[in-house]
Structure 1
Amino acid sequence: MGVEWHKLIGDEAQFSIEHRLLNIVLIFGFIIAVWSGVTNYLLDLDSVLVLTCIISGVIMAGLYYLSFVRKKYAVSVFLLISAVFIITPVSWILNGGVSGSIPFYIILFSSVAATVFSGFKRIVVIAYFVIISSVLLFLEYKYPFIIVGYSSNVERYIDIFIGLATILIANTVVFVIILKHYNKEHERAKKYLAQSQEAQESLLYFSYHDALTGLYNRTYFEKEVTDFGHQRESGIGVFAIDIDRLKFINDTLGHEQGDATLVYAAKVLRASFDENSTIARIGGDEFAIIVRGVTRNGMEAMYKRIHDNLQTENKKSVEIAIPLAMSIGYAYSIGIDKSKRDLLREADNKMYREKLYRKAGTEGSIIQTVKNMLSARDYDTGVHGNRLQNLIASFAIAAGIPGSAIADIQLFAEFHDVGEIGIPDRILHKPGPLAQEERAQIQRHCEIGYRIAQASSDLLPIADWILKHHEWWNGEGYPLGIKGETIPLECRIVAIADAYDAMVSDRPYRKGISHEAASEELKRCAGTQFDPALVRIFATIKGCNLD
């Protein structure tokens, strides 16, 4: 296993590049000091020189500990400079002066210093090496006797060779590592710049786009309005579009379904306009489109295209529970005969007039919309509701419901499962057993139906019954877990009639059971799921003996 040098140098997250370079210098300083001490000893040079090398190695090891372990960068740098300032002249004198290996080490030290330090510190350190080298050369020239020489030329040349080879190798290794780390820093900087540019582009994108639909937002639309207000174009049009019943969808089916409706609306609008049109979501349920270079007939064709795409997509949609409906208005201008605000106001006014008309008609009625949805989604649900209304009438009267209230309980019988429009088909019509999460979603239909009923003046009187129609006599029902006579009488009546009709009617996945078998099942569940007194009344009107 090789030495993992990067661990000796320091982690990038904890050490700056300058600090890691210092660690590199200290490691190689220690290696060179030990190597020089060994070679000087083998060459039988002055023992003081060998001791100096050993002391240098100890100093480098201590500084490395201070730098790497204690993370004292500034202190380590100061002590390193001080040590080099002392060791250099001593080694020069004890190791043959200019004729020895020390000049090579000075070249290495000055190169490393130029790399590690910057600014004024670099100038000071390099100036020191220039000055100290000049002074030592002068002293050696004037007083050559102060230099400790070699015992022979062989020793001298061996020392010079070892020093030169050591410096060449050390210089190469140090600078390769330094360049490697600089390259890594450079790549990291490039990556950071790329990420920064991506972040800026993302920020710019979301400053002009709606995060949910991906269309332009109001900020961009207002900018476009201002821009085209200063241009003279042959023909320009503006569409104002509002999503119908979005508040109703949010309040009853939840904001997740409301968001799905908005995304679906954006899909329809993209399919209705070309790429030169500016499509923007400018409010919660409001969209606006700017169309350039268009004729009045072209605007009418686009209006029709939106409605055609809407009908086509609604027929095949599985993404939204309630069919998408839009109120649409548009305004058209040639040149600048109308101001931009007038054009927008005209489109808005037309859109609101269409919305008011749609609300006044049957298409705008929530109860009519829900009836259409129940029938379109599951034919048997509508037929079951009709059968249940007929079954309820005589049962309700026998149970003590006054004749004046029969219409309400029949309405309840028809719409008691209205909340199922908020349950995905894959769960609602799953042929096999339901998973726990799927069962929990099914049980939500009571609360969804309650919110739908509260949003409709037609269904508001039966909203509480819709919420509680799956409560059990023994308190083990849902969603509230109430029991006994705290469950509304109407809910207890419909629960029995609903269960009976579900058992005797044929379904796509099974045949209905006999009247007698269904009556026996009601008897078995009396006192747990159903009100036992009402079960006996129901048996009486159906001609059964449950005793």
Structure 2
Amino acid sequence: MCALVNGGKENSIIGKTDKEIQKNKELGQLYYEDDLKIIETGKGSDYISEFPFETGSLYYEIRKNPVFHQDKIIGIIGIVTDVTKQIRLEKELEELSFTDKLTGLYNRNYMEVRSKNYVRKDDFPTSLIMIDCNYLKEVNDHLGHEYGDLLLQRIANSIQETISKESIAIRVGGDEFLILCPHHDHQQAEKLIEQLQESFHSKTDNILKLDAAFGYYTAMDDTLPFKEAFYIADKNMYAHKKIIHQQRNHK
């Protein structure tokens, strides 16, 4: 632990404050302020601290309590426990619970959590783009679900390759996808849809045709909750899907 804190030996930290021994001065200040609070209130603290390294972060649970003598606080005793394995496992499980196994995109579980705070004030305008993959049923019926899965994977890959780094792609379920696009107004949302259509077309081959219906809603502020914004984007997507079906039937 001493090596983590300041790269020194055990006796190098005796009699020194966290501000003096911590290589990370910001962490040292936080720990020092926590010690002052314990001395002031007489109440202990319990928290997990992260130590970032190039090979990955290490996590330690730090428990500190005041030491009393004749009703006076004369010091602080602390216990440090390595909880790296536990935290890493929790993060892996959380990532798995939020990831769609087939496409690698976020899943509906993530959407439910994100919906509580789907857009921040500095992200406006934000567009929600709904995508419904066409021909999935036909592919499943005529070529089998293996090819249907491949179609969804190609759609997902095209989405990931086309959207910006700050945008988030989610497989809502079945053949439906949602993209949350911060800093995208109406024109930028429509431009992104055009780019997605071009990407789908470029990845179409003699076996699988990548095609989809699109709908979007652009939030200029936070007056409309996620559920209603999602409903509008979804409704617009189904309107586009209806037009596509009419065109196909006409042909």
| TM-score interval (norm. to shorter) | 0.5 to 0.7
CA contact (8 A) 2:201 2:211 kept: no
Determine whether 1:301 maps to 2:191. yes
CA contact (8 A) 1:276 1:291 kept: yes
Counterparts of 2:122 and 2:187, CA distance in 1: 20
| 1:282 alignment partner, SS class | strand
Deviation at 1:269, TM superposition (A): 0.5
What's 2:165 paired with? 275
Determine whether 1:348 maps to 2:238. no
Deviation at 1:303, TM superposition (A): 1.2
Counterparts of 2:156 and 2:120, CA distance in 1: 28
Counterparts of 1:222 and 1:289, CA distance in 2: 14
CA contact (8 A) 2:197 2:211 kept: no
Deviation at 1:232, TM superposition (A): 6.4
CA contact (8 A) 1:241 1:329 kept: yes
What's 2:134 paired with? 244
Please give the residue correspondences for 1:50-65 in structure 2 after superposition, counting only pairs within 5 Å. none
Report which of the two has the higher share of helix. Answer: 1
Deviation at 1:230, TM superposition (A): 6.9
| 2:132 alignment partner, SS class | strand
Deviation at 1:222, TM superposition (A): 2.0
| 2:173 alignment partner, SS class | coil
Deviation at 1:199, TM superposition (A): 3.9
Unaligned runs of 5+ in 2: 1-81
Which of residues 330, 338, 349 is equivalent to 2:216? Answer: 330
Counterparts of 2:90 and 2:118, CA distance in 1: 27
What's 2:180 paired with? 290
Report which of the two has the higher share of strand. Answer: 2
Deviation at 1:201, TM superposition (A): 3.2
Could you list the per-position Cα deviations for residues 449-483 of structure 1 after superposition, in whole angstroms to 9, with x for gaps in the alignment?
xxxxxxxxxxxxxxxxxxxxxxxxxxxxxxxxxxx
Counterparts of 1:234 and 1:322, CA distance in 2: 37
Deviation at 1:288, TM superposition (A): 0.4
TM-score scaled by length of structure 2 = 0.61
Which amino acid letter does the alignment assign opposite residue 322 of structure 1? L
| 1:294 alignment partner, SS class | coil
Determine whether 1:261 maps to 2:154. no
Counterparts of 1:221 and 1:208, CA distance in 2: 8
CA contact (8 A) 2:169 2:178 kept: yes
230 and 302 in structure 1: CA distance in 2 versus 1, 3 angstrom threshold: closer
What's 1:358 paired with? 244
Which of residues 96, 99, 107 is equivalent to 1:206? Answer: 96
Deviation at 1:252, TM superposition (A): 2.0
193 and 296 in structure 1: CA distance in 2 versus 1, 3 angstrom threshold: closer
Could you list the per-position Cα deviations for residues 192-242 of structure 1 after superposition, in whole angstroms to 9, with x for gaps in the alignment?
974x65543331111111011000001111222211367464301101111
> Could you say which structure has the greater relative contact order, defined with CA pairs below 8 angstroms and 6 or more residues apart?
2
What's 1:537 paired with? none
Q: Which has the larger radius of gyration?
A: 1
Could you list the per-position Cα deviations for residues 276-310 of structure 1 after superposition, in whole angstroms to 9, with x for gaps in the alignment?
11100011111001111222211111111111111
Give the number of equivalent residue pairs.
Answer: 170
CA contact (8 A) 1:279 1:288 kept: yes
255 and 293 in structure 1: CA distance in 2 versus 1, 3 angstrom threshold: same
Counterparts of 2:222 and 2:124, CA distance in 1: 9
Please give the residue correspondences for 1:369-518 in structure 2 after superposition, counting only pairs within 5 Å. none
CA contact (8 A) 1:232 1:335 kept: no
Counterparts of 2:91 and 2:124, CA distance in 1: 34
Unaligned runs of 5+ in 1: 1-189, 369-547
Deviation at 1:322, TM superposition (A): 2.5
TM-score scaled by length of structure 1 = 0.29
CA contact (8 A) 1:238 1:290 kept: yes
Counterparts of 1:273 and 1:193, CA distance in 2: 34
201 and 336 in structure 1: CA distance in 2 versus 1, 3 angstrom threshold: closer
Which amino acid letter does the alignment assign opposite residue 227 of structure 2? R
CA contact (8 A) 2:107 2:172 kept: yes
Could you list the per-position Cα deviations for residues 35-76 of structure 1 after superposition, in whole angstroms to 9, with x for gaps in the alignment?
xxxxxxxxxxxxxxxxxxxxxxxxxxxxxxxxxxxxxxxxxx
Say what the alpha-carbon RMSD is for the aligned residues.
2.4
Determine whether 1:235 maps to 2:125. yes
Counterparts of 1:341 and 1:231, CA distance in 2: 18
Which amino acid letter does the alignment assign opposite residue 332 of structure 1? T
Counterparts of 1:193 and 1:297, CA distance in 2: 46
Counterparts of 1:341 and 1:204, CA distance in 2: 23
Counterparts of 1:241 and 1:333, CA distance in 2: 18
| 2:153 alignment partner, SS class | helix
Could you list the per-position Cα deviations for residues 22-41 of structure 1 after superposition, in whole angstroms to 9, with x for gaps in the alignment?
xxxxxxxxxxxxxxxxxxxx
